[in-house]
């Protein structure tokens, strides 16, 4: 019993994970209570808030108080912005909210990075600044809270949220507190104030999404990382160009399956409770250009960046016309790269995508002319192939631990590419290759097929659904529980 109660407190060496047995037990107990109170909006929201705050405490310890402070400040700032008539006072409060929210983010996420840039790391060695820990999920709850303030300022939201519990729950809602999807206040707050009828179809859909996400995460993403990708990215010089290139192809599908698997799981959890969270992915590797890719990949972040960064910048630079649009694109993607991590690899990754979109914007009319003069099917397929290869080469920047490792991989791919080893490589890495191919095949299957499979699962008798779910969970934990990796996007 002592060990059980100790497991209920925060342990920085073993924080709570969505794919842990402890979370499964805690959520099951929570859901039993939830089933009795969900029709009572007030009791439901209080229970959800308590579980959400406890969940974040189990993930990040006392950083839960920063979450509460952030939400509390913006709760009152939202009121003042709404009711004050003076424009300069509204702007002052908007800047205050930005300062508080981004101040937390810059201190915890970028202080060490800036010390390295300015060469003062040694000055702060062995001080509290040198030992900064980044609270998991901070980027996401900061963005959620800022969304509310921006929408109040722009009057996109008709009235502010009067209920403090509802607002704190909106910011801390446990299914998407750690790595999104980023819910806007105008999407989630109305759901928190509405009654929900949890139907059998919704429960069935939630269970299917959880299974789908677990399969993507454990059977594809983790298997590829543990058995192939990590060893290449850790020591690229020990391998040839072909292995490094295949590791890049593997890294792309690994990160996709890891993050989309996480998204499926949390959307499924929300679905079990009667809530709707917007999806984050729509078959991104079918994109014909990078602009389209960002409409299909991490869609809630793309929407956030477009609404609150790109469009305001475009308006600010409007007199520069096309140059202004391109500047807005480059700044947006520089910030997007920096948001993903305090590392030059992420900055270059973001900038590479920014330059690609800037090029597409600049050549839009020319590409339309080319499209009208050649076979449309050929143009579409070739565009998808070119875009996919761009994503493969830029994912090296995203996945590499530092710039030197990334450039080393590029050099090896272009100078030590030996096709004679392909047959031997296939023999050695036969199972990782099968899983890699499976990941891409599943991604490229028509969405209609996935929708039909979901509907068929939902229509099964509950006994069959329970048996399938139980079998999938048992197999996953028997196979991967000892080597399960953290979700990739939790570090952002």
CA–CA gap between residue 217 and residue 253 (Å, rounded): 11
Q: Using CA atoms, how far apart are residues 460 and 197, in angstroms rounded to an integer?
A: 20
Asked if residue 171 lies in contact with residue 71, where contact means CB atoms within 8 angstroms, the answer is yes
Alpha-carbon span 179 to 198, nearest angstrom: 25
Question: How many other β-carbons are positioned within 10 Å of the β-carbon of residue 227?
Answer: 15
Report the C-alpha gap between 449 and 452 in whole angstroms: 5
- Contact criterion met (CB below 8 Å) for 74 and 142: no
- Residue among 329, 295, 303 nearest 180 (CA): 303
Say which of 298, 340, 353, 443 is annotated catalytic: 340
Are the C-beta atoms of residues 295 and 279 closer than 8 Å to each other? no
Helix axes 164-172, 185-192, angle to 10 degrees: 120
The full DSSP string for 473-491 is HHHHHHHHTTTPPPPGGGG
Joined together, the tokens standing for residue 482 give: 């000892």
Angle at the Cα of 273 from the Cα atoms of 271 and 278, rounded to 5 degrees: 35
Residues 490 and 137 sit within 8 Å (Cβ to Cβ): yes
The Cα–Cα gap between 81 and 115 comes to: 35
What percent of the residues of the chain are helix, what percent strand, and what percent coil, each to the nearest 5?
75, 0, 25
260 in Cβ contact with 216 (< 8 Å): yes
Q: How far is CA 36 from CA 32, 33, 54, 268, in A?
A: 7, 5, 20, 20
Is the sign of the CA dihedral 69, 305, 269, 42 positive or negative?
A: positive
- Catalytic residue check, 19: no
Q: Which positions are catalytic?
A: 340
């Amino acid at each position: 019993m002592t060990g059980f109660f100790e497991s209920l407190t925060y342990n920085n060496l073993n924080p709570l994970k969505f794919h842990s047995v402890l979370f499964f037990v805690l959520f099951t107990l929570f859901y039993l209570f939830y089933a009795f109170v969900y029709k009572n909006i007030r009791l439901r929201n209080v229970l959800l808030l308590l579980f959400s705050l406890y969940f974040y405490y189990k993930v990040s310890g006392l950083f839960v108080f920063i979450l509460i402070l952030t939400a509390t400040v913006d709760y009152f700032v939202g009121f003042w912005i709404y009711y004050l008539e003076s424009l300069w006072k509204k702007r002052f409060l908007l800047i205050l909210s930005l300062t508080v929210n981004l101040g937390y983010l810059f201190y915890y996420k970028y202080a060490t990075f800036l010390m390295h840039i300015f060469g003062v790391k040694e000055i702060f060695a062995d001080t509290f600044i040198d030992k900064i820990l980044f609270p998991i999920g901070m980027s996401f709850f900061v963005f959620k809270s800022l969304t509310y303030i921006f929408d109040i300022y722009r009057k996109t939201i008709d009235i502010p949220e009067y209920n403090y519990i509802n607002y704190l729950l909106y910011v801390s809602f446990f299914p998407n507190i750690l790595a999104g999807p980023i819910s806007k206040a105008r999407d989630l707050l109305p759901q928190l104030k509405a009654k929900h009828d949890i139907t059998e179809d919704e429960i069935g859909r939630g269970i299917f999404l959880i299974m789908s996400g677990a399969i993507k995460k454990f059977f594809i993403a983790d298997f590829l990382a543990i058995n192939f990708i990590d060893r290449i990215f850790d020591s690229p010089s020990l391998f040839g160009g072909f292995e490094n290139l295949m590791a890049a192809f593997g890294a792309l599908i690994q990160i996709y399956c890891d993050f989309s698997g996480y998204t499926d799981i949390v959307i499924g959890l929300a679905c079990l409770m009667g809530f709707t969270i917007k999806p984050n992915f729509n078959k991104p590797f079918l994109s014909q250009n990078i602009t389209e890719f960002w409409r299909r990949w991490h869609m809630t972040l793309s929407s956030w960046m477009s609404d609150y960064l790109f469009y305001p910048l475009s308006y600010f630079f409007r007199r520069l016309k096309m140059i202004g649009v391109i500047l807005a694109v480059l700044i947006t993607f520089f910030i997007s790269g920096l948001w993903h991590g305090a590392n030059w690899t992420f900055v270059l990754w973001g900038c590479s995508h920014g330059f690609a979109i800037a090029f597409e914007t600049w050549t839009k009319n020319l590409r339309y002319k080319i499209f009208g003069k050649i076979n449309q099917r050929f143009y579409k397929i070739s565009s998808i192939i070119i875009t996919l290869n761009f994503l493969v080469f830029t994912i090296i920047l995203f996945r590499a631990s530092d710039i030197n490792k990334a450039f080393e991989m590029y050099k090896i791919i272009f100078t030590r590419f030996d096709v004679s080893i392909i047959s031997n490589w296939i023999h050695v890495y036969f199972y990782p290759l099968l899983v890699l191919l499976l990941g891409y095949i599943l991604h490229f299957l028509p969405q209609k097929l996935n929708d039909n499979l979901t509907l068929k699962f939902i229509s099964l008798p509950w006994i069959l659904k329970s048996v399938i779910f139980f079998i999938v969970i048992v197999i996953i934990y028997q196979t991967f529980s000892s080597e399960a990796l953290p979700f990739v996007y939790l570090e952002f």
